[in-house]
A and B are shown apart, each in its own frame.
Chain A
Amino acid sequence: MERRVVVPGEVVTTERKKIGRHVFVEGGKIYADCLGLADVNGEYANVIPLQGKYMPRAGDLIVGIIVSEEYSGYVVDINSFYFSFLSKEKLRKPLKKGDIVSAKISYVDEINQAELENVRVFYGGEIVTISPVKIPRVIGKNGSMLNVLKQGTGSALMAGRNGRVWIKGGNIPLLKKALRKIEEEAHTSNLTNNIEQFLKEENAKRENSTQNVNSGGI
């Protein structure tokens, strides 16, 4: 079923459903609290937001950037309200400003400050920042979209829930194009197949052009 776009304060459903994310109840009806896609097919009434900032939640995998070094650890920008702190105790090698790390959020307090665990350091590569609410589409169901992107471009890829995607190797310009396409079309259905098609076409184009160059050169 085509999901419909709802605006804040619009009725998501008048049926009795469990309260999911980005909805609120008033007078027995369920309303959306943000601009998004209404999802009422399951047990829960949900709204999938189309815009918004990253709100840290326990269990999220994020990509952070080291901002500065303190005596006992590092300050990490996690693209949220506050910077997080990373203790040197958990690290084997010293880091420097600008290094890229991935981490799991272990705990979020009542003012949305996040604590990190399971830190991994990434060497090389670069970061593409997209809207955090669109990261689920970059990952896909059970990572289906990630696999499509990896196969289509040959890059290494790591998507953080905070809207940062670390990419390295392979066809970087194509991967960036694909990510931009996902961000623009995040509200449409059948996206994974569309992207697969898009990557195939782009790769075919590239092969043709290289062949032409080669034949021209000879």
Chain B
Amino acid sequence: MDETVYVNEKGERLDGRKVDELRPIKIVPSVLSRAEGSCYIEWGQNKAIAGVYGPREALPQHIQDPTKALVNFTYRMATFSVSDRKSPRPGRRDIEISKVCGEALANAIFLERFPNTTIDVYVQIFDSNAGTRITALTAASVALADAGIPMRDLVAGVSVGKAGGHIILDLNKEEEDAPDAVDMPIAILPRTKDIVLLQMDGLLKKEEWLKAFELAVKGCNQVYQKQVEALKAKYGMPAIEHETQKEEKAVPQKPIPQPKKPVEVKPAEGEEEKKERVEEIKREMEQQIKEISEKKKPKIEELKFNSGGDNQ
């Protein structure tokens, strides 16, 4: 058999993507009218719909937790989503994915605000081509935001791996079936970079793993941007420059020339001088605030609302 070339000399993959390029992603929130929040996603060839119901009273009563809400994540693949008919009965794989994705989302939601309740998330996969658990999780996170459920951050995920000796982002089915393939789905909270889901199938050297992880974080931020854009587009607002983007900018490897984010203060109408003075005062105040907050930093750390205390 001929050896498949997974990345050619030009740095192109089997489907023409670059090593660090995602498949095209399309996210549409609010597609189900009966669900409290929902999302349709197309990630390359993967297609899925996520629906969120609740928070609602958890029944039977003995599963209720009086300290927090439960997250009931249900991942199912349609019989026609793979080339051989999949048995509609939930198998070991479906149950595992439901569990890990549910736990990933539970880390992002303020569960303690809804005692004795359950948040039901149902994701149905209609078409699959590797990376469906990440597709499901990304869609579910947008659906949760669409349902208005309080969260620390959106959950953004991506899969990285190795095929033909190359570390690549967002593997498709062909690449996943490579003889030396490694598949590593990762989901993070993009703001804090907390890892909420990390699985790996195959073997990687330490250096390879670190390289893959770095690639995954970049990919997650791209996915996050898509999620934010989708949610904001619903209300006719362009996605503004984001925290994660800003941080990316700070990384010297990839300097993106972008205009400075305007400070959210209404400038005085008309006169230039007044504006300048306002700007000056603002800068001074920011300086002061910065100094104060730096001095008091340990105190603020204590005060913050259980931020990621139960993460990982």
Interface positions of A (Cβ within 8 A of B): 1, 4-5, 7-11, 13, 15-16, 22, 24-28, 31, 33-35, 40-41, 49-53, 81-82, 110-112, 133, 187
**Chain B residues with CB under 8 A of A8:** 108, 145, 150-154
Q: Among the listed B108, B116, B145, B304, which residue makes an inter-chain contact with A26, where contact means beta carbons less than 8 Å apart? A: B304
**Chain A residues with CB under 8 A of B235:** 5, 50, 187
| Cβ A34 vs Cβ B153 within 8 A | no
Q: Among the listed A4, A10, A27, A49, which residue makes an inter-chain contact with B304, where contact means beta carbons less than 8 Å apart? A: A27
| Cβ A52 vs Cβ B147 within 8 A | yes
| Cβ B243 vs Cβ A11 within 8 A | yes
Q: Is residue B312 contacting chain A, with contact meaning CB distance below 8 A?
A: no
Interface positions of B (Cβ within 8 A of A): 36-37, 54-57, 66, 108, 110, 114-117, 145-154, 189-192, 227-228, 231-232, 235, 237, 240, 242-243, 264, 266, 289, 293, 297, 300-301, 303-305, 307
| Given A8-B154, A35-B148, A81-B57; A27-B300 close (CB under 8 Å) | yes
Within the complex, the shortest CB–CB distance from A158 to chain B, in Å, comes to 24
| Cβ B154 vs Cβ A7 within 8 A | yes
Secondary structure of the B contact surface, majority rule: loop
| Given A24-B305, A33-B110; A51-B147 close (CB under 8 Å) | yes
| Cβ B146 vs Cβ A35 within 8 A | yes
**Chain B residues with CB under 8 A of A31:** 152, 191
**Chain B residues with CB under 8 A of A187:** 235
Chain A residue at smallest Cβ distance from B303: A25
Within the complex, the shortest CB–CB distance from B44 to chain A, in Å, comes to 24
Within the complex, the shortest CB–CB distance from B253 to chain A, in Å, comes to 24
| Cβ B57 vs Cβ A33 within 8 A | no
Within the complex, the shortest CB–CB distance from A129 to chain B, in Å, comes to 13
| Cβ A49 vs Cβ B148 within 8 A | yes
| Cβ B116 vs Cβ A13 within 8 A | no
Secondary structure of the A contact surface, majority rule: loop
Tell me the bound Cα distance from A133 to B148 in angstroms. 10
| Cβ A33 vs Cβ B150 within 8 A | yes
Q: Among the listed B56, B243, B266, which residue makes an inter-chain contact with A1, where contact means beta carbons less than 8 Å apart? A: B266
| Cβ A5 vs Cβ B115 within 8 A | no
Within the complex, the shortest CB–CB distance from A20 to chain B, in Å, comes to 14
**Chain A residues with CB under 8 A of B300:** 25, 27-28
| Cβ A111 vs Cβ B66 within 8 A | yes
| Given A26-B304, A27-B300; A9-B237 close (CB under 8 Å) | no
Q: Among the listed A7, A41, A49, which residue makes an inter-chain contact with B228, where contact means beta carbons less than 8 Å apart? A: A7
| Cβ A9 vs Cβ B153 within 8 A | yes
Tell me the bound Cα distance from A8 to B307 in angstroms. 14
Within the complex, the shortest CB–CB distance from A8 to chain B, in Å, comes to 4
